Amino acid sequence: MKRREFLQKIWNDSFGVLPPGKHVAVAGGGLAGLHLAEALLQRGLRVTLYEPRCIGGVRIPLMHACQTPKLRGAFWENAAAFSRQRYEQLIASGYLVRATDSAFGRYYAVNARSLARRLTERLCRAGFVIRRQPFFESEAQNYDGHFLATGASFLPGEKSPLLRATQIVPGHASYATGVNVKEGIVLPPRAEFVHLRDATPAAAKAEALQVFAGKRSFLFHGQRLVTRDRLPAIGFYPPAGENSYDELRLTFLKKNYAVDSLAQESPFLFQGMGYHVLTYAPFLAAAVAAWLTGADKMDENLICNLSPTRFLYRNARR
């Protein structure tokens, strides 16, 4: 079985496994989890979200959507095109979002805390249930499926499902403080702009002064945890007992991947968006919800880019 055929079978087996009316849990009330919960609700699923904090996942109050300092591939461009329509709608609805045109297309400065708060309020009015507590594995049996949309699953540790798929990388980030921006948006105490990973401090500083229009800014050089291929983690996590890509592949023809995953209480991963969360999450949430409820097949580009087999060891060729 060729790699593309193998991945297509994984996605095809997962098509329609959660038809409308099923009850699912979403662990993580950050921007990724909220977008996913909204998309699942719109497809007729009952959703309970687990988030112990009043606002989950938002560390940087101002975030940029559909913005990148370099050219990206088709996957990112498709996500950005989809999300640009969403943010134009948010602007029309009075959300704290400001559009800016650049050499790399239109991008948006989003007040992330305000967006998370309003999304939560809107979802609650639509039948969304929120539990102010962490999600524990023992509760998975109470649901027809559960989603991990929390960065806590990326933290190094023996029980982290993504430990093998992540790495710590250095990088520069610039922050502006107390900057008043026109068109009705005020930057909160920490507004972040993440630079190219190989940027020198001098290049990052010069770029920051352009982005923040010469206002007061400062640089941070530190580490962040990312997936090794810099793409979101999407899909059912490989069932327990399959320790390598080759092992999974050898037994896969006899299994229905999605059904076996659900039966073994394997989580569906929807995380790893990083600072591109506001670009990826709206696009991927809509695609995942349509696919899992049987409303639409998964796009070929997504099949090739997103697969839980990325998180398994590959045995050396003999």
What tokens appear for 64 in the block? 């940029």
pLDDT of 252 over the 50 cut? yes
What is residue 305's three-state secondary structure? helix
Q: 67-76, 105-114, 250-259, 290-299 — which one is most confidently predicted on average?
A: 290-299
Record the pTM.
0.82
User: Which one has a higher pLDDT value, 126 or 240?
Assistant: 126
* Confidence (pLDDT) at 181: 47
Q: How many domains does the chain have?
A: 1
Is 176 part of a structural domain of the chain?
no
Is 206 part of a structural domain of the chain?
no
Quote the CA–CA distance of 307 and 295 in Å, as a whole number. Answer: 20
* Confidence (pLDDT) at 284: 95
- Domain of residue 116 covers 3-60+67-92+112-165+229-311
pLDDT of 143 over the 50 cut? yes
Is 304 part of a structural domain of the chain?
yes
Is 105 part of a structural domain of the chain?
no
pLDDT of 133 over the 70 cut? yes
Q: List the CATH number of the domain containing 78.
A: 3.50.50.60
Average pLDDT over the chain reads 78
Quote the CA–CA distance of 124 and 141 in Å, as a whole number. Answer: 24
Amino acid identity for residue 7 in this structure: L
Is 182 part of a structural domain of the chain?
no
Q: How confident is the model at residue 46 (pLDDT cuts 50, 70, 90)?
A: very high
User: Which one has a higher pLDDT value, 159 or 269?
Assistant: 269
pLDDT of 231 over the 90 cut? no
Is 78 part of a structural domain of the chain?
yes
Is 306 part of a structural domain of the chain?
yes
Q: How confident is the model at residue 1 (pLDDT cuts 50, 70, 90)?
A: low
pLDDT, one tens digit per residue, over 169-226 is 677 777 665 554 444 445 454 556 667 667 777 887 777 777 666 555 666 666 666 6
Fill in the DSSP letter of residue 18. S
Is 276 part of a structural domain of the chain?
yes
Quote the CA–CA distance of 213 and 193 in Å, as a whole number. Answer: 13
123, 40 contact by CB (below 8 A): no
